[in-house]
Amino acid sequence: MSLTAERHFIPLSDGNKMPLIGLGTYGDPRTTPKGTCYESVKLAIDVGYRHLDGALVYFNEHEVGQAIRDKIAEGVVKREDIFYCGKLWNTFHPPELVRPALERTLRTLQLDYVDLYIIELPIAFKVHRLPFQNIICSTLPTCQQPYHPATHSWQPR
């Protein structure tokens, strides 16, 4: 039995499926040559990966998005074949910053949606003008509602 996205997945409560095996796209931007993530994602899609994991703090969302779009253009996959998981960075935990952070990710990826958007770490950092400037931990904010309002406005596939 081969390990494939079609056969190895977790069914989600909304009817979608999340492939069990995915490619994490982190690479230290100080040491990883530009284009490495792009080539890795293209190769991963070619060999059958359908679950891709990325984040703003990896500084390569543009490469991930370009690789996905190129593989779609080549006819290798359709967007609905890919399960993309993005992450909310710690300075964007306040509810009013969640949607703008997600929209920034979508613009950088140049995709219409992400399949899953999770919190990078359950620790909120103080908000600064620049997302990574003077990162200082603050107290973990409490959430007064079970879901962010943006959840209800997302379009199902």
How is the chain split into domains, by residue range? 14-139
| pLDDT digit string, tens, across residues 27-71 | 988 899 999 999 999 999 999 999 999 999 899 999 999 999 999
| pLDDT digit string, tens, across residues 77-125 | 999 999 999 999 988 889 999 999 999 999 999 999 999 999 998 888 7
CATH class held by domain 14-139? alpha beta
Active site residue 38: no
Where do the H-state alpha helices sit in the chain?
Answer: 36-46, 61-73, 95-109, 150-153
* Per annotation, catalytic residue among 26, 38, 49, 58: 58
